[in-house]
Amino acid sequence: MSQPSGLMEITHVKEENDKFYDVFSEKVLDNKQFDILRQFLISEPSSIDNPAEEIIKEKIRFQKATLIQLVNLIIEREKTKQRNIVSIESEIMDCQSQLYFYKCHIYPINPDNKRKGSLERALSQLENQRRQEEIDCWKDTFRLWQELLKAASEYRATVRKARLLLLSD
């Protein structure tokens, strides 16, 4: 079964000046997420005599790619949270050391409540920022987990239907 020329142009991007070439070329795509999408988009349908079987298999492949993508998104969000937390923790440690130095060395000699208050406020804001990052990550991953469970349920239902349909032939 041969592909129409229009479909061939979409699935096999070869021209360097094409606007989609950079998106789907190997040199740009190091990320697993894009590779999964690229493989799904450029894979050619097999020449199966039963079109219903091909449709079911394609739906299963798509749902499987969706599951992998959602897991990757959850992992990426957790990594982003960790990077942000590390950055905030570093700023907190810097602020704490400045406050400690101020309290031990400068405040006893020249008490300046504005400077002390400003350092304590900065420390408090950084701790709030850390808590907010935790909450934001929880909200993001909670939504992704819900989507993942829904996608997993759809995937399992499709696999069950495929078994029933393909065994009844």
pTM of the model: 0.66
How much is the pLDDT for 12? 38
- Given its phi and psi angles, is residue 111 left (phi above 0), alpha (psi -120 to 50 degrees) or beta? beta
Render pLDDT for 35-71 as a digit per residue (tens, 0 to 9).
666 666 666 666 567 777 888 888 898 999 899 999 9
Positions of the chain with pLDDT under 50: 1-30
Given this model, what pLDDT does residue 154 score?
A: 95
How far is 133 from 85, CA to CA, in rounded Å?
A: 7
Please tell me the distance from the alpha carbon of residue 77 to that of residue 69, in angstroms, as a whole number: 12
SS3 92: helix
Half-sphere exposure of 153 (CA within 13 A, CB side): 6
Chain CA centroid to CA 23, Å: 17
